[in-house]
Amino acid sequence: MIPKELNEQLTDVSPNSDAGKVLRQYWQPAALLDELESNKLLPVNLLDEKLVLKRQGPDAFTLKERVTSPEDSPVFHPKITKVKKDSNSYPVLEKNGVLFAYLGEEEPPKFPNFDCFRAPSSHSFAFKGLWECNWLQALEIGIDPAHASFLHRFLEDEKPEDSYGKQFRDKSDGADIPMTKILREYPRPEIEVDETDYGLKITALRHMDDDLTHVRVTNCIFPDAICIPMSREMTITQWHVPLDRHHCYWYTMFTSFNEPVNKELMRSQRLSEHNLPEYLPKKNKANNYKYDPIEQKNLTYTGMGLDINVHDQWAVEMMGSVQDRTREHLGRSDKAIVRYRRMFRKAMAALDKGDIDNLPMRKMSCREIVGPLSNDAISPTHQWKTKSHEADLERRDLCPWDASI
């Protein structure tokens, strides 16, 4: 548990708050390119600021403060949007279908050489969704590797060939075992957490029969993103971006190492679960996330369908719009959450002293930060480190675009 004052410090994202200042030192997703129609104004809520995004040319965009109307809200787009006169313009860059904005006062950092940024458009797909909760609890579920064995437990194993674009439906590299079965039968992983140049590398070891170990490597990309394996051939890089203290969007970039992405299929899969233009989940608190007790008995742990985003949404929104961490009791499986909070507090303290170079990735060359390694593999227990790394290198060597590290 943490003191109330610290919880408020970590969750307040307003421009002059300690957490807000840290988040403003990094590029943050502001919108999907799909949302921006030519020569139209798009309302954007980002880091407790109400802004307007506009296309200025084929690859040029402006983001400025907007004049709010009575119908404006943190979630719903206002009917009338105007640019505030004499307001500053924030820099905006497009990366594989996501428009990133920089709201800091200092020189913006260069984008790291992550796979999600250097993959060609043919091998990348982007989407987003709204969660009605604070950004921090949305991030923290993503860096908890133990929750997948419970919250995302499937009681039946689907055929991988029928499960394109869905997480945990593939087979792990190194064995003909569905991921759903591994997570279900080995629910209590040994967890290792290592600090890296970009944040945290999180390794979950599920020790199996016959002296085999399933190795799942995920990452926390500072300050508010994760990179996790979706399948043997695809990774997910997902930001948890605050609109304000009580709402956030998750922005996901799917990156394929092998075949081009089937964008139309992935888009249709996700649009079936969301309402536009706000990207509101169709399953939400108002309809009890379409909970089905028969499904819960026979198919899924939650009884809320096969989309794991809904499972996560239910878990983080049920904590309240801002989680009360004064009442929490962290355990051994929460290692990454503890390390992340220490890292974020260290960044707030460094920024308070004006020491911006001590923030992760701020002083490094973008070419120095690659990957990150993010995959599932099964190997003999005594070789898990070597085999996990080799599995990553193997798919990179076969990749049609430059994924070398």
pLDDT at 163: 54
Chain segment 91-148, per-residue pLDDT in tens: 999 999 999 999 998 889 899 999 999 999 999 999 999 999 999 999 999 999 999 9
Region 55-84: mean pLDDT is 79
Give Cβ neighbours of residue 43 (< 8 Å, ≥ 6 apart). 50, 51, 52, 53, 66, 72, 77, 78, 81
pLDDT at 304: 94
Region 236-265: mean pLDDT is 96
pLDDT at 179: 84
pLDDT at 363: 77
Chain segment 162-206, per-residue pLDDT in tens: 554 455 445 555 567 788 888 898 989 999 999 999 999 999 999
**Alpha-carbon 194 to chain mean position:** 19
Chain segment 256-288, per-residue pLDDT in tens: 999 999 999 999 999 999 999 999 999 999 999
pLDDT for 350 beyond 80 = yes
Can you give the pTM of this predicted structure? Answer: 0.92
CA-CA distances (angstroms) from residue 23 to 258, 328, 345?
Answer: 33, 24, 12
Q: At which residue do the structure tokens 């198919």 appear?
A: 299
Band (pLDDT 50/70/90 cuts) for residue 159 is low
List beta partners, residue 101. 28, 92
- The number of residues in the chain equals 405
